[in-house]
Amino acid sequence: MEIKERKENKVLNRVEIEFRWKHDKKSTPSRKEIMDLVKTLEPGSNPDWIVVKDCVTRFGQPLTTGTAYIYGSQEAMKVEPEYIHKRHAGFRSGSEQPAAEEAEAPEDTEGGDE
């Protein structure tokens, strides 16, 4: 993975990395693979505070580009929209996403005109 640009955003308490990954003879990397590699680029970063955005794989080319944000705290991550948190929930160590889905599932009750 090649870092195109690395920027520290003090206002939002995060490191912003624009990356380029040439993955010859391999399939398109998953979001989890990208997050694991980003974690190695910033030693000491918490994997639960990494957000990967704007991933694009070029058609016919083994090249993926994107942006990764490495936050300094859980509080700082609140600037991300809810759909981003849901998208990354499966990769978090303390994820409770499946329990939330079960709670929202409608109960299957049989009823009639009684």
Q: Note the pTM of the prediction, 2 decimals.
A: 0.70
The phi-psi region of residue 25 (left if phi > 0; otherwise alpha if psi is between -120 and 50; otherwise beta) is left
pLDDT value, residue 113: 56
- Stronger pLDDT, 95 or 37, i.e. the higher one: 37
pLDDT in tens, 5-35: 999 999 999 999 999 988 888 888 888 888 8
Q: Report the topology of domain 2-93.
A: Alpha-Beta Plaits (3.30.70)
Separation of CA 19 from chain center:
14
| Cα–Cα distance for residue pair 21/54, rounded to 1 Å | 13
pLDDT in tens, 43-75: 888 888 888 888 888 888 889 999 999 998 889
Please say whether the beta carbons of 61 and 26 come within 8 A: no
Please say whether the beta carbons of 42 and 15 come within 8 A: yes
Place of tokens 């705290």: 73
- Pairing outcome for strands 2-9 and 63-71: unpaired
Which helix (DSSP H) or strand (DSSP E) does residue 7 occupy? strand 2-9
